[in-house]
Amino acid sequence: MNKNDLSAFQLKSNLRKALKENQFVLYYQPKINTETGTIIGVEALIRWIHPEKGMINPATFISLAEESDFILLLGEWILNKACNQIKEWEKLNIKIPIAINVSIKQLLKQDFATLVSKKLKEFKISSEYLEIEITESVLSSNESLVRDAVSKLRNMGIKVSIDDFGTGYASFMYLKQFQADTIKIDQSFISHLPTSQVDTAIVSAIITLASELGINVIAEGVETQEQFNFLKDKGCSQLQGYLYSKPLPPNEILLLLRETEGR
């Protein structure tokens, strides 16, 4: 094993312990309506607060979790935590949806829709407050399983987006495979707007595609006013990114939500 493999191995064997010892935290990043500038929802993004290594980003450990069935355990924890947060905010009269990231493996390996349905009942949450972003790090071999899971979720009233659209294995295929509510344009297409000719063409095309399909479109990773202006001009109705806010821990997102309440 080389040094990288070794540290990956160490992290991987630490995941279960980390879950038991409550080392994971959900951060929240607002989603903005491009026209009005108001917060229309938040995305939950997981962080691992390691006792020695400090904060570890999900890019490092989600793929490790996906290599084993640990992602199922972690996914359940995330779902639970998000439901808890929805409840907390409801008490404070803050009513916005939380979107959680769900890897395709969770849809394939368990009856995710039934799990969600149980959670909503357990927490007494209306389905409009929980949303799903489907991330695709693996090529899904079982189309009908994915289709069934998504249609079950949508029939329950849960909105589903295709995350990182344009990257990975099956973005366009997903559009044929299941009905999505939203396409999320990956930040790799946003970061070189508006100068890159290729990226402006791709982003414009995705926005047109979404509009022709009658589905929502959101851009992630919006960092500059120029990117914002371009997206607004092209009719991208929602966006997310450092320009507005980084992902924030629960206490800080609460301040932001309160500050902007009723705007």
Footprint on this chain of ligand C2E (rule: CB under 6 A) = 29, 44-46, 57-59, 62, 78, 100-103, 135, 163-164, 187, 220-223, 241-242, 247
Alpha-helical (H) ranges within 92-162 are 104-109, 112-123, 143-155
Amino acid sitting at position 181: D
The reply to whether omega before 194 is within 30° of 0 (cis) is yes
Question: Which residues neighbour 27 within 8 Å (Cβ) at sequence distance 6 or greater?
Answer: 44, 45, 46, 47, 247, 248, 249, 253
Distance CA 234, CA 137 (A): 29
Q: Please, are residues 18 and 24 in contact by the beta-carbon 8 Å criterion?
A: yes
Least distance to Ca ion, CB of residue 124, Å:
26
- Indicate the residue among 7 and 57 with the shorter CB distance to ligand C2E: 57
CB 94 within 8 A of CB 78: no
Nearer to ligand C2E, 187 or 216 (CB): 187
Q: Find the binder of Ca ion among 186, 199, 248, 253 (CB under 5 A).
A: 186
Question: Measured in Å, how far apart are the chain's first and last C-alpha atoms?
Answer: 55
The single residue among 85, 164, 190, 207 that binds Ca ion, judged by CB under 5 A, is 164
Alpha helices in 21-142 (DSSP H): 58-67, 70-91, 104-109, 112-123
Tokens for 32?
């903005």
As measured in angstroms, the least distance from the Cβ of 163 to ligand C2E is: 5
| Minimum distance of ligand C2E from residue 26's CB (angstroms) | 7
Nearest distance from C-beta of residue 172 to ligand C2E, angstroms: 18
The nearest distance, CB 164 to Ca ion, in angstroms, is 4
- Binding track, positions 67-106, relative to Ca ion; x by CB under 5 A: ----------------------------------x-----
Q: Which is nearer to ligand C2E, 99 or 210 (CB)?
A: 99
Q: Which is nearer to ligand C2E, 32 or 46 (CB)?
A: 46
Q: Which stretch binds Ca ion (CB under 5 A): 16-24, 62-70, 146-154, 164-172?
A: 164-172
Site residues (CB under 5 A) for Ca ion, limited to 124-163: 133, 135, 163
E strand or H helix that includes residue 170:
none
Compute the distance between CA of residue 136 and CA of residue 123 in angstroms, rounded to an integer.
Answer: 28
From the list ligand C2E, Ca ion, none, partner contacted by residue 18 (C-beta under 5 to 8 A by kind)? none
Residue numbers of the site for Ca ion (CB under 5 A)?
Answer: 101, 133, 135, 163-164, 186
